[in-house]
Chain A
Amino acid sequence: MKCEEAGHVCDKNQYKEASFKERVKLAIHLIYCGACRKYSFNNNKLTKAFKKSDLKTISKEDKNTLKDKLHQEMSK
């Protein structure tokens, strides 16, 4: 496995979309590749940070409602 692929599998794994085979190959790659180990470490932490922060977003529809209101007010 090349580093490029390892990075990709590591990304997919953050969203639980990597297959078992891919995960095994990634784990083997990480044994001997320091750069990817570092990327993987930070990547996992980023995922945890997102979970912990429990962020919410406003849905697209609600955003459009907000925009409409704002535009109405602006054109007055």
Chain B
Amino acid sequence: MPKHQLDPNKWVDLYSDYLFNFTIVRVSDVEIAKDLISETFLAGLKSKDNFKGEASERTWLISILKRKIIDHYRKINSKKGKAEVRMSYNDEESEGDWLEERVSDPFDRTAEDTMENEELGLAILNCLGTLNEKQATIFKMKTIDNFDTEAICNEYNITASNLWVIIHRARKAMADCLEKTWL
């Protein structure tokens, strides 16, 4: 009896945000990221009989997505020459100051920061997965998408104090979940 089972009906609600954030740091284009996720879901559906139940659904989908991302890079790399880095320090205007420009900047930690922030982001999404669905949706709308309190209340037909109770519980659960590793 396999431990994990696939339920494609829930994939979009459960995993699309997680996959999206995983993709966006790698391809940095929203439209391409969405396409890759859509392809991933469809590929997952096609090969769902190969799922042995050893990994969780999400891990399995991520492994498909990784292959899709690699394929994407292969495709854009086949247009050779575009990925080449050209430095032209030979023109007269910039003569004399190129050495300084090439010194490494110790305060530029962009790559490391990005990696750390990505891990943090995925950890947050992980914890969001432990909240119940309504709580998670409303909390995401408020915190990530910055919707107005009023807009959310209208959409879900709840009062402002209902909303704040939901937010309070969600924040507490999130803080507990993230406390050990990240806060």
Chain B residues whose C-beta falls within 8 Å of the C-beta of A69 in the assembled complex: 38, 41-42
Do A45 and B183 contact each other (CB < 8 Å), given the known contacts A14-B171, A70-B41? yes
Whether B183 lies near A49 (C-beta < 8 A) is yes
Q: Which residue on chain A has the smallest CB distance to residue B179?
A: A42
Interface of A is mostly: helix
A11 touches B171 (CB 8 A): yes
Q: Which residue on A lies nearest to B25, using beta carbons?
A: A54
Given the complex of chains A and B, what is the CA–CA distance between A34 and B53 in angstroms? 47
Chain A residues within 8 Å of B54, by CB? none
B178 surroundings in chain A (CB, below 8 A) = 46, 49
- Interface presence of B121 (CB below 8 A): yes
Mark out the residues of chain A between 19 and 76 whose CB falls within 8 Å of any chain B CB in the assembled complex. 42-43, 45-46, 49-50, 52-58, 62-63, 66-67, 69-70, 73-74
Q: Which A residues are in CB contact (< 8 Å) with B125?
A: 55
A66 close to B16 (CB less than 8 A)? yes
Contact at B124–A70, with CB atoms within 8 Å?
no
B130 within 8 A of A: no
**Is the CB–CB distance between B124 and A50 below 8 Å?**
yes
Closest B residue to A72 by CB, please name it.
B42
The CA-CA distance from A56 to B143 in the complex, in Å, is 11
Within 8 A of A (CB), among B129-183: 140, 142-145, 149, 164, 167-168, 171, 174-175, 178-179, 182-183
| 18 pairs, CB–CB < 8 Å, chain A vs chain B | A7-B168, A8-B168, A11-B168, A15-B143, A17-B149, A43-B171, A45-B175, A46-B171, A46-B175, A46-B183, A49-B178, A52-B120, A55-B17, A56-B21, A56-B24, A57-B144, A58-B17, A69-B41
Q: Which residues of A contact B (CB under 8 A)?
A: 7-8, 11-12, 14-15, 17, 42-43, 45-46, 49-50, 52-58, 62-63, 66-67, 69-70, 73-74
Q: Which 10 A/B pairs are nearest by Cβ-Cβ distance?
A: A53-B121, A42-B175, A53-B120, A45-B183, A66-B12, A67-B12, A55-B121, A57-B17, A46-B175, A58-B20
